[in-house]
Amino acid sequence: MLVATASAQQATEDDMLQLEGVAVVVNDEPISFFDVRQRARMLMMTLGAEPTAEAQQQLLGTAQEQLIEERLQLQAAAEFELEISEREISGAVSDIAQQAGVDRDTLYDQFVANGISPITLEEQMRADISWRRIMQGRYGSRVRISGN
C-alpha cells in the first residue's frame, strides 16, 4: 500500500512542480519550490523547531543548499551507474526511526502529520547512501587513521 501511496504522492509532486515552478536548476534537473519547502519542513521537524511560517522561511536557504548538494551527489552516482535499492533506503529509514525511538511506520506517520512527504526523507537517504559509496570507492583504500 505504501508503494501506491508513494506513486500517488509522486504524481502530486509532479503536478506541484508544474503549478509552483522551479526554484533552481542543477545541471538541467529542476528542484521545485515544493521540494524546497518540504525539505525546510523536514529540517524544522528534525531540529524540533516550532513549525511556523517564519521558521520555515528562515530554513528555506539551507533546504535549497542541501537539495542542490544532494542533486549533485545523485548525478555523480548516475555517472558511476550506482543503483540504490529500495531495501537499502528502507533500512536507512528504519535506522533513523530506531535512533528516534520509533518504528518506521510511526516515523512516516510523524512526517505526514507535519505535512512532509516520506519521499523527502527517502530521497535524502538515496543521496546519502550514493555519496558514501562513491567516497568509499574513491578514497576507501587511501584513508589512514593514525594515533598522534
Q: Could you report the per-residue pLDDT of 102-138, keeping only the tens digit for each?
A: 999 999 999 999 999 999 999 999 999 999 999 888 7
- Range list of β-strands (E), 14-78: 22-26, 29-32
Q: What pTM value is reported for the model?
A: 0.76
Spatial distance between the Cα atoms of 5 and 106, rounded to a whole number of angstroms = 16
DSSP class of residue 35? H
Does position 3 have pLDDT exceeding 60, yes or no? no
55/94: higher pLDDT: 94
111/142: higher pLDDT: 111
Spatial distance between the Cα atoms of 3 and 6, rounded to a whole number of angstroms = 5
Q: What percent of the chain has pLDDT over 90?
A: 64
C-alpha triplet 26, 29, 18: angle, nearest 5° = 120
The cell numbers describing 49, all together, are 523547531
